[in-house]
Amino acid sequence: MIPYGRQTITEADVAAVVDVLRSPFLTQGPAVCKFEESVSDHCGAAHGVAMSSATAALHVACIALGLGNGDILWTVPNTFVASANCARYCGAEVDFVDIDETRNISVPALEAKLQNALTNGRLPKIVIPVAFSGLSCDMQAIRRLADEYGFKVLEDASHAIGARHAGHPVGCGRWADITVFSFHPVKIVTTGEGGLAVTNDAELAERMVRLRSHGITRDPALMDSVPEGSWVYEMQELGWNYRMTDIQAALGASQFQRLNEVVDRRNALARRYSQLLAGSGVVLPTFPVEEGSLSSWHLYAIGWNEACSGITRASAYRLLQDKGIGVNVHYMPVHLQPYYRRLGFASGMYPIAEAYSATALTLPLFPQLTESEQNHVVEAVLSIASR
Ligand SMILES: *Cc1c(COP(=O)(O)O)cnc(C)c1O
């Protein structure tokens, strides 16, 4: 089976992890600091805060941005459930904004919904745009709306480390208040499990550092009382244990050295898919058009064309799986998950996301996918794409 995604682990990665196992630190220590610096330097952001997962990073980022009971967070249906769940952890409500043909948040839909929310006094405190498949959202437009309507921008760039937007790395902090990356093994860079938040705001970074470790500070400058000795720590607020380990960070830092190489390879494979599948009837994914923009191509997701092929997406999925091709679906709309249906969401509410999702098929894409494996995938798709 050719999987839809797979990590690449080199001997250098293995050696970096073994070095940590022989060092005095296993949990958060010098390797975490070094990894945070590598990521924030790459992004051109002032601060990086590593955590146990992107889910943890989204949670802590929401708290740092002030989300709580009675507040509302908006995101898109075309994402992983974690982009919405982070609001629920904080006791806040979730609402969704439909996507456009790029499969990212629709700026006109966002603007229309904001105008409505302004009239009925239900403006969101946070909007989470998701850089689906590694393609940045229109961050300049989202920033403009954030300034106009007074919400915070928490960018879910779980797919998009190494991507660029309008001449800047995703995570640069020009447009988002906080950007979150995931290092799950299917993503661009892995730490096993892991996530990281970048921001240019020192206070937000300090708060996230405290929240990932029980709400505890050991910095005398941040304490209520003058400490009696260096053993003293203060728990300033309720936090969690969301720390990344040095074992994970060493793997991440080693992987990170190959970031450009990996993103180039993913781009080459994505371009090749689009060339080989052009004219086949399937809907091809969007390449960035803006000058200075680059997708990280976490996913290569096509739209299955039932009219042209005469077979349903579900049949195409099964036929391709039977040929050893690990196709997948990204994503089932979040608002149609039973948990969110029970909160009042229903089909028909976000028609573009629902229509896209019903046709979505993710083809295998990872750096070690060979051209001959890719040819095998393409031939299998072409053999059923049109009648
Ligand atoms: C993978 C993913 C997450 C969650 O990442 P974890 O590191 O597994 O917690 C969140 N949002 C999106 C869009 C993702 O793809």
Predicted local confidence at residue 33, as pLDDT: 98
Q: 3-state SS of the chain?
A: CECCCCCCCCHHHHHHHHHHHCCCCCCCCHHHHHHHHHHHHHHCCCEEEEECCHHHHHHHHHHHCCCCCCCEEEECCCCCCHHHHHHHHCCCEEEECCECCCCCECHHHHHHHHHHHHHCCCCCCEECCECHHHCCCCHHHHHHHHHHHCCEEEEECCCCCCCEECCEECCCCCCCCEEEEECCCCCCCCCCCCEEEEECCHHHHHHHHHHCECCEECCHHHCCCCCCCCCCCEECCCCCECCCCHHHHHHHHHHHCCHHHHHHHHHHHHHHHHHHHCCCCCECCCCCCCCCCECCCCCEEEECCHHHHCCCHHHHHHHHHHCCECCECCCCCHHHCHHHHCCCCCCCCCHHHHHHHHHEEEECCCCCCCHHHHHHHHHHHHHHHCC
Distance CA 103, CA 127 (A): 16
- Asked, as a colleague might, if the bond just before 331 is cis with ω within 30 of 0, I would say yes
Q: Is the CB of 55 under 6 A from ligand 1?
A: yes
pLDDT at 280 > cutoff 90? yes
Contacts of 341 by beta carbon, 8 Å cutoff, 6+ apart? 335
Query: 196 near 180, Cβ under 8 Å?
Result: yes
Query: 297 near 134, Cβ under 8 Å?
Result: yes
Go through the chain and tell me how many residues it has.
387
Q: Is the CB of 28 under 6 A from ligand 1?
A: no
Q: Is the CB of 156 under 6 A from ligand 1?
A: yes
Query: 178 near 65, Cβ under 8 Å?
Result: yes
Pocket test for ligand 1, best of 80, 94, 251, 299 (most atoms within 8 A of CB): 80
Predicted local confidence at residue 13, as pLDDT: 98
Please choose, from the candidates 108, 163, 315, 295, the residue with its C-alpha nearest in 3D space to the C-alpha of residue 284: 295
Q: Is the CB of 79 under 6 A from ligand 1?
A: yes
Query: Which residues sit opposite 241 in a β-bridge?
Result: 213
Query: Taking every pair of C-alpha atoms in the chain, what is the biggest distance, in angstroms?
Result: 79
Pairing of strands 152-156, 126-127: parallel
Predicted local confidence at residue 387, as pLDDT: 86
Tens digit of each residue's pLDDT (9 = 90 or more) over 110-167: 999 999 999 999 999 999 999 999 999 999 999 999 999 999 999 999 999 999 999 9
Query: Which residues sit opposite 93 in a β-bridge?
Result: 72
Q: How many CB atoms lie within 10 A of CB 2?
A: 20
Atom of ligand 1 nearest to the CA of 83: 11
Burial (CB count <10 Å: 0-12, 13-18, 19+), residue 3: middle
Predicted local confidence at residue 256, as pLDDT: 97
Residue 302 binned pLDDT confidence (cut-offs 50, 70, 90): very high
Q: Is the CB of 197 under 6 A from ligand 1?
A: no
Tens digit of each residue's pLDDT (9 = 90 or more) over 40-95: 999 999 999 999 999 999 999 999 999 999 999 999 999 999 999 999 999 999 99
Pocket test for ligand 1, best of 4, 39, 53, 55 (most atoms within 8 A of CB): 55
Distance CA 160, CA 298 (A): 7
Tens digit of each residue's pLDDT (9 = 90 or more) over 359-379: 999 999 999 999 999 999 999
Question: What percent of the chain shows pLDDT beyond 90?
Answer: 99
Burial (CB count <10 Å: 0-12, 13-18, 19+), residue 185: middle
Distance CA 193, CA 208 (A): 18
Atom of ligand 1 nearest to the CA of 132: 13
Atom of ligand 1 nearest to the CA of 79: 13
